[in-house]
Chain A
């Protein structure tokens, strides 16, 4: 789910009975079965990605004479057009997707929190500039812009992360800004100011901790969005470049062998979908657990 939609639905939320205070976040999270399953799958994926050399039966880049082989005992999911083991490539490609997802999320949250908190706290001219900048960035379609950057700059992992990160912080910045706008008027902020706390101290020590819930939720959903964006970019040929395996560029490659070996076009997409769905379920579960007010009906 997109961030702004998540924020939009929240305002329509039907009020739920407030759960007992003693109940921890984890207890509330655990009650959402889909979120727990999602978390489990996500952990398995991370384990698989970290232990890829141990899990994968072959070297993902090793070619052989078995071109486009059907699934067999030797190659569980068959081989691709230059005889590389499909299963091993899928496993190694998960490293790319998960790294991009998590790193983009970190970049996004870092920029979004910094920009959003400054704009929300100081208001006035800074806010006007930030909101204007966000509007400009939002008026440029993201995937085409990412393609231009990908085509003109380098297309290694670092650049893909930076490109997607720099293009997707606006959602987080908006959420943080809105939180700051309301939190800076609250009594505890006033109290801190009366006690002589500096702006930096108020922002970092008093207001930011209160925005943790929406930040965590936004960061989780951002991982999913970034994985989708990376796969799209790589599919179009402007992201991770072959021979490095990524689910996106594996799909691009598979398209040429549609008629001979259609399953090559199925596996990577299924993995992308599975990863993104589980992360989205975790995000939904976190939203419900961290802040019952944000629950959607």
Chain B
């Protein structure tokens, strides 16, 4: 518990540093929201000055930052330049689809990578080895967005068995679970491929390590069925390192899911980010980056906590 609090406290300076870096990058970059208004011939200089004043963009940068920080801490995340709505409202609309996508994709990745990793560890003939190497290599080498495009091309455009994008069918009302699943599976599966490759390799190598241990030999020699040896004794320990990996990479996935979201027209954070970039929507950009970084940090924390939870030998100090 004390460890948890200390880790959470440690996250604060990291988040703060992220905010300074991002604020700097976003505000110091040439061009800006004012350039957008200035490009409109109907807006004269007096109007421009008024807009600048209203958005608070004429203050010196440190003051702008202080104002932004105060707003962030007090829950007033400002108004989006582009949509004119509260940033908090926009983000809460967009973050759930992203989290759903990431969650389903992590589940799919686990469902495939664990059995695959176990299988390739237990049956170590050349053919299995060859297949597992190839699959792992393909998984990390094929660009996910292209895989998404190919899947859309074959299964949606040609065969018409999956939707071409979006979160639900047009006209679907309420919470139709099947319709939702039907829409979420293709992008989630594409997103999962990257992890299936890495994780099954990971499960495999840690499984191999565990199987060589003395206690497995003991379990075998006392006459336990091989199934029991593998699933009761070996698996639990072999999956330990995976927890860390899932936490570390799961947190990053909201950012990584971005391109997949764009390909499948998924209304999540990724598309929001792409939209706010073109309009230089500073408040939305800052808030999304803070949220994504927070998720990364939480993912790391969860990885450490989960590890200590499953393996009491590891004391978190």
Contacts and interface: CB of A to CB of B under 8 A. Distances in A.
Interface stretch (B45-53, B72-80, B134-142): B134-142
A50 B209 CA distance: 46
Contact of A141 (B147, B153, B158, B255): B255
B277 A147 contact: yes
A296 interface: yes
A60 to B, nearest CB: 20
A13 B270 CA distance: 37
B292 interface: yes
B289 interface: yes
Residue of B141, B157, B296, B297 most packed against chain A (CB within 10 A)? B141
A8 B205 CA distance: 10
Contact of A140 (B18, B146, B202, B245): B18
Interface residues of B, number: 59
A172 B137 CA distance: 21
The interface residues of chain A, by DSSP majority, are classed as helix
B137 A280 contact: yes
A143 interface: yes
B157 A258 contact: yes
A130 to B, nearest CB: 13
Contact of A144 (B138, B141, B198, B255): B255
Interface stretch (B1-9, B54-62, B256-264): B256-264
B205 A140 contact: no
Interface string A207-240: 0000000000000000010001001100110100
Interface stretch (A86-94, A131-139, A179-187): A131-139
A1 B137 CA distance: 7
A140 B273 CA distance: 14
A204 interface: no
Interface in B74-124: none
Contacts of A8: 202, 241, 245
Interface stretch (A74-82, A105-113, A149-157, A192-200): A149-157
Given A136-B18, A259-B157, A262-B157, A143 B145 contact: no
Interface in B205-219: 205-206, 208-209, 212
A140 B143 CA distance: 21
A138 B296 contact: yes
Interface string B148-175: 0110110001100000000000000000
A234 to B, nearest CB: 11
Given A143-B256, A235-B259, A12 B18 contact: no
B202 A144 contact: no
A205 B169 CA distance: 64
Contacts of A13: 205
B22 interface: yes
A127 to B, nearest CB: 17
B278 to A, nearest CB: 7
Contact of B208 (A5, A12, A132, A272): A12
Nearest to A4: B248
A141 B256 contact: yes
A277 B145 CA distance: 16
Nearest to A138: B296
Contacts of A265: 146, 149-150, 153
A236 B255 contact: no
Nearest to B248: A4
B255 A143 contact: yes
Q: For the side of the interface on A, what is the size category?
A: 35 or more
Contacts of B256: 141, 143
A269 B152 CA distance: 14
A114 B278 CA distance: 36
A187 B298 CA distance: 41
Interface in A254-296: 255, 258-259, 262, 265-266, 268-269, 272-273, 276-277, 280-281, 296
A141 B143 contact: no
Interface stretch (B26-34, B182-190, B222-230, B309-317): B26-34
B246 interface: no
The residue in B13, B133, B136, B146 that gathers the most chain A C-beta atoms within 10 A of its C-beta is B146
B262 A236 contact: yes
B30 A140 contact: no
Contacts of B278: 151
Contacts of A297: 204-205, 208
A152 B31 contact: yes
B181 interface: no
A46 B202 CA distance: 33
B131 interface: no
B143 A228 contact: yes
A269 B289 contact: no
B149 A251 contact: yes
Interface of B: 13-15, 17-18, 21-22, 25-26, 29-31, 133, 136-138, 140-143, 145-147, 149-150, 152-153, 157-158, 198, 201-202, 204-206, 208-209, 212, 241, 245, 252, 254-256, 258-259, 262, 270, 273-274, 277-278, 285, 288-289, 292-293, 296-297
23 contacts: A5-B201, A8-B202, A12-B208, A34-B133, A132-B17, A136-B18, A139-B15, A140-B22, A143-B259, A148-B285, A224-B141, A232-B259, A235-B145, A235-B259, A251-B146, A255-B149, A259-B157, A269-B147, A273-B146, A276-B143, A280-B137, A296-B201, A297-B208
What 5 pairs between A and B have smallest CB-CB spacing? A141-B255, A152-B29, A269-B146, A276-B141, A277-B141
